[in-house]
Chains A and B, each alone.
Chain A
Amino acid sequence: MTAQIIVVTSGKGGVGKTTTSASLATGLAIAGKKVAVIDFDVGLRNLDLIMGCERRVVYDFVNVVHGEATLKQSLIKDKRHENLYVLAASQTRDKDALTQEGVEKVLDGLSAEGFDYVVCDSPAGIEKGAHLAMYFADHAVVVVNPEVSSVRDSDRILGLLASKTRRAERGEGAITQHLLLTRYNPTRVAAGEMLSVKDVEEILGISVVGVIPESENVLAASNAGVPVILDENSMAGQAYSDTVARILGEERPLRFTEVTKKGFFQRVFGS
């Protein structure tokens, strides 16, 4: 059984790729899958912080690629879920530290270890790191903000996913593309200040797999090193749970995309 490879990508930086990778990997693990999440951002390691395992990094992705450590030594077991592992990015400044053969070897190794899913957290941009993160993918989660430069970049990424991946090159069928709209603010959409879900879907010609509302809980979660999907009381956490369920094939209606009218008691006593 080979692992399903999911790339989380966007083109533009700062839209929520790492936040999404951490929550997606955690959500898949909660669903009972054996999951590894890999940070492809060589030189700018960050996933470890969002996952809360930064002090337990001994060996990294590049060490495995170069044969300086085994996969087993490098995979960091999540404190909260025993079937979830993190592979940290290297801090090296050598951008050529990753090779296509090296990445393939690691992904094959994870398949052999019985992993069900490998989540690849792509760096921003469309250069080598981003290319390698998407090359072997079976599924892609394209993270987009309701903002002009992010939407344009994600269209570019959708084009690359359709042509510059191994599946495309081998004619093995297109990779599954999921569009995830993050930092969504229904109040600003209602005021005509922000692109709506429908606008983004129309422009890109693809429907969303989820909408994550802009939420202060996301920053709180990253401050604490706990993926926001584990904050079950937050709208962002619940929206990520819905998104993971949809990626696993479940049908769930979109939530948190409309302006919520506060009830009398909420108005008086605060939310």
Chain B
Amino acid sequence: MGILDFLKRKPEASANVAKERLRIIVAQERSTRGAPDYLPLMRNELLEVIKKYVQVDIDAISINLEHDSGHEVLELSVALPDGKPAAG
């Protein structure tokens, strides 16, 4: 640590951190907007089931509800961790 440290680098601007966090949360909330209220609960229960077999994080599961010519499509995608086969 020296007295010239303040010249070298600044901490990341907090506005950039705010922008990144907002970009992610807004996108996530938009994708589930207008979806039934049970969706977050169902997501958590599905996560519990999946966790019995594979160790995944809640962020690895995304649920999308789309309206496609008169019927609704519930799309569930799970990103599995690399190189870890499912536990028997």
Interface residues, chain A, with chain B CB atoms under 8 Å away: 147-148, 151-152, 155-156, 159, 163, 189, 191-196, 199, 202-204
CB contacts (< 8 Å) of B30 on chain A: these are 155, 159
CB contacts (< 8 Å) of B26 on chain A: these are 151-152, 155, 203-204
Decide if B87 is an interface residue (CB 8 Å cutoff): no
Q: How far is the CB of A3 from chain B (nearest CB, A)?
A: 30
Main secondary structure of the interface of A (DSSP, over half): helix
Report the separation of the CA atoms of residues A193 and B17 in the bound assembly, to the nearest whole angstrom: 10
A192 engages B34 (CB within 8 Å)? no
Question: What is the size, in residues, of chain B's interface with A at 8 Å between Cβ atoms?
Answer: 16
Q: Which of B8-16, B41-49, B76-84 contacts A (4 or more CB under 8 A)?
A: B8-16
B14 engages A192 (CB within 8 Å)? yes
Report the separation of the CA atoms of residues A152 and B26 in the bound assembly, to the nearest whole angstrom: 6
B23 engages A193 (CB within 8 Å)? no
Q: How far is the CB of A226 from chain B (nearest CB, A)?
A: 33
Report the separation of the CA atoms of residues A189 and B21 in the bound assembly, to the nearest whole angstrom: 17
Report the separation of the CA atoms of residues A196 and B15 in the bound assembly, to the nearest whole angstrom: 8
B34 engages A199 (CB within 8 Å)? no
Q: How far is the CB of A160 from chain B (nearest CB, A)?
A: 9
CB contacts (< 8 Å) of A163 on chain B: these are 34
CB contacts (< 8 Å) of A203 on chain B: these are 19, 22-23, 26
CB contacts (< 8 Å) of B23 on chain A: these are 202-203
Smallest CB gap from B13: residue in A: A192
Q: How far is the CB of B46 from chain A (nearest CB, A)?
A: 25
B13 engages A195 (CB within 8 Å)? no
Report the separation of the CA atoms of residues A156 and B34 in the bound assembly, to the nearest whole angstrom: 11
B33 engages A192 (CB within 8 Å)? no
Report the separation of the CA atoms of residues A204 and B27 in the bound assembly, to the nearest whole angstrom: 10
Report the separation of the CA atoms of residues A117 and B83 in the bound assembly, to the nearest whole angstrom: 63
Decide if B3 is an interface residue (CB 8 Å cutoff): no
CB contacts (< 8 Å) of A155 on chain B: these are 26, 29-30
CB contacts (< 8 Å) of A191 on chain B: these are 13
Report the separation of the CA atoms of residues A191 and B15 in the bound assembly, to the nearest whole angstrom: 9
A199 engages B14 (CB within 8 Å)? no
Q: How far is the CB of B22 from chain A (nearest CB, A)?
A: 5
A193 engages B15 (CB within 8 Å)? yes
CB contacts (< 8 Å) of B18 on chain A: these are 147-148, 195, 199
A193 engages B25 (CB within 8 Å)? no
